[in-house]
A and B are shown apart, each in its own frame.
Chain A
């Protein structure tokens, strides 16, 4: 059987005119374009960087949201603490970040329905334990599934996420999830331009898991700050104000108004080959 509706038992063309296919998609001779969803992000945040150290994880992202190449919003905080053990860093589309933030907000409210005390500890006397907090690992699994579901629906959330914090064994945890639903884990991670510009530097500091277990908190923060500086030098969608967070046993320490220090643009006049400049 011919399944195309224009071929079904039709009145004669010479009397009633030809079949009007305008409502059909263009592939069938109609005027309609295929249904499409997000094809590209609109307002975007650039790289997110994170690095594991002996007792926790450092994460950083700058405070800029760009509209194309326009530096549109300069006070956008892209690190969102989820609870005392997990922080999410968002790269990519800012409105999708807001959606995910609300999703995480409602998840957190639901997680706390079974009331727990403020002095929540993992374990305790008499087996009277508060419901354990969701770990960064749990959160990563959840977010990765959300991202994968959305890309499978051909309606992706245009973000690259880094999820940092502590896992169920209170060990440092760092993993990524992106708009394709791909997950990846390593002792150091960077999204966006950072994957090209910062990742090599971070890998020099922490070449493998063993090295990250040896790394001190101070060294880790220093390395991340250095990478933020390199990114500001070379990434045209970046900014010199940024947020940085450290998650360890003591909880989340978030600072949202850091400024890049000790910049040196001495290298700049040696760079040739861009724009109208003649080499």
Chain B
């Protein structure tokens, strides 16, 4: 690496002469070793999925969940250094709850991503700290329907002054990815961790742009997410892993606007289909070779 021995990589908050912050780049390297995490923004919701590598046979199966709920309507999956991710989640929860304290309503996805981006960025500025060794994917759903203000009683006027503008569509699914530099973008599909290249290639094949029509549904998204995690796992096949998946829909959808774990039955079905499609591909390859 060009950075080694130059001295510009020893401290955070110091630029190299060609304008790079090497500590941040090393943090990105830490993320590249983590289990693959993906998020898919579907027509009617968001799926978060994680390839949780089994580090020890002594760990209880399906315990130690890694995808965290931040508020009713938002979840975070991250890849990289686990304790950094825990701290990120804890801060996200604080932000969500302080937003509720001020505005008596759930935090919008854009605001949450903005605040977390700013927070992570601050860790690239001081040499008393190191950058976050994670890339986090924030997914959730901003309510389209009228949510009652927390603790409110009664209703305001239906339309007009002090009321609502009729026919305006608000809210919808959101998906953001925050990198160790503090950079964040909104995505249709996001992937990070070891298998991100393969995962991104798969994500690009999906119909995810709502403007183009036939954007995939949440249930299709769950199945695709499972398949993509299996595809991304191909390169580290020797290691065991567990698939962790959460989802969130609108108030009228299957999760009723809450960020929840994907029900066991649906997850197992998605895993079965994922395995089947992997086997199918292998057979085709064999045919081609034969």
Residues of chain A at the chain B interface (Cβ within 8 Å): 65, 73, 75-78, 94, 97-99, 101-102, 105-106, 108-109, 112-119, 128
B137-158 interface (Cβ within 8 A of A): 150-155
Cβ-defined contact, B151 with A101, below 8 A: yes
Q: In the docked arrangement, what's the CA distance between A114 and B67, Å? A: 9
B64-90 interface (Cβ within 8 A of A): 65, 67-69, 71-72, 75
Cβ-defined contact, B259 with A115, below 8 A: yes
Question: Which chain B residues lie closer than 8 Å to A118 at the CB level?
Answer: 254-256, 258, 260, 263
Can you list 13 pairs linking A and B with CB atoms under 8 Å apart?
Answer: A65-B153, A76-B153, A77-B153, A98-B151, A108-B72, A114-B65, A114-B69, A115-B65, A116-B260, A116-B261, A117-B263, A118-B255, A119-B263
Top 5 nearest A-B pairs (CB, nearest first) are A98-B151, A102-B151, A76-B153, A75-B154, A101-B151
Q: Is B217 an interface residue (CB 8 A)?
A: no
Q: In the docked arrangement, what's the CA distance between A202 and B153, Å? A: 28
7 further contact pairs, Cβ within 8 A, besides A114-B65, A118-B254? A76-B154, A99-B151, A109-B96, A109-B97, A109-B100, A113-B93, A118-B256
Q: In the docked arrangement, what's the CA distance between A112 and B256, Å? A: 14
**Secondary structure of the B contact surface, majority rule:** loop
- Residue of A at shortest CB range from B259? A115
Q: A102-B104, A106-B97, A117-B263 are in contact. Are A112 and B69 (CB under 8 A)?
A: yes
Chain A nearest CB: distance from B117 CB in Å? 22
Interface centre among B62, B67, B261 (most CB of A within 10 A): B261
- Residue of A at shortest CB range from B153? A76
* Contact digits for B169-211, partner A, Cβ 8 Å, 1 yes 0 no: 0000000000000000000000000000000000000000000
Cβ-defined contact, B246 with A115, below 8 A: yes
* Of B65, B152, B254, B261, the contact of A98 (CB 8 Å cutoff): B152
Q: In the docked arrangement, what's the CA distance between A101 and B69, Å? A: 21
Cβ-defined contact, A117 with B262, below 8 A: yes
- Residue of B at shortest CB range from A125? B264
Question: Which chain A residues lie closer than 8 Å to B104 at the CB level?
Answer: 102
Q: In the docked arrangement, what's the CA distance between A76 and B262, Å? A: 36
Chain A nearest CB: distance from B177 CB in Å? 20
Question: Which chain B residues lie closer than 8 Å to A105 at the CB level?
Answer: 100, 150-151
Q: In the docked arrangement, what's the CA distance between A65 and B154, Å? A: 10
Cβ-defined contact, A115 with B67, below 8 A: yes
Question: Which chain B residues lie closer than 8 Å to A112 at the CB level?
Answer: 69, 72, 258
Q: A109-B72, A112-B72 are in contact. Are A117 and B153 (CB under 8 A)?
A: no
Q: In the docked arrangement, what's the CA distance between A119 and B259, Å? A: 13
Chain A nearest CB: distance from B162 CB in Å? 15
Cβ-defined contact, B263 with A94, below 8 A: no
* Of A97, A106, A114, A117, the contact of B100 (CB 8 Å cutoff): A106
Question: Which chain B residues lie closer than 8 Å to A73 at the CB level?
Answer: 153-154
Q: In the docked arrangement, what's the CA distance between A118 and B260, Å? A: 6
Q: In the docked arrangement, what's the CA distance between A73 and B156, Å? A: 11
* Of A98, A109, A113, A119, the contact of B68 (CB 8 Å cutoff): A113
Question: Which chain B residues lie closer than 8 Å to A116 at the CB level?
Answer: 260-261
Interface centre among B97, B153, B259 (most CB of A within 10 A): B153
Cβ-defined contact, B154 with A117, below 8 A: no
Q: In the docked arrangement, what's the CA distance between A75 and B72, Å? A: 26
Question: Which chain B residues lie closer than 8 Å to A101 at the CB level?
Answer: 150-151
Question: Which chain A residues lie closer than 8 Å to B151 at the CB level?
Answer: 98-99, 101-102, 105
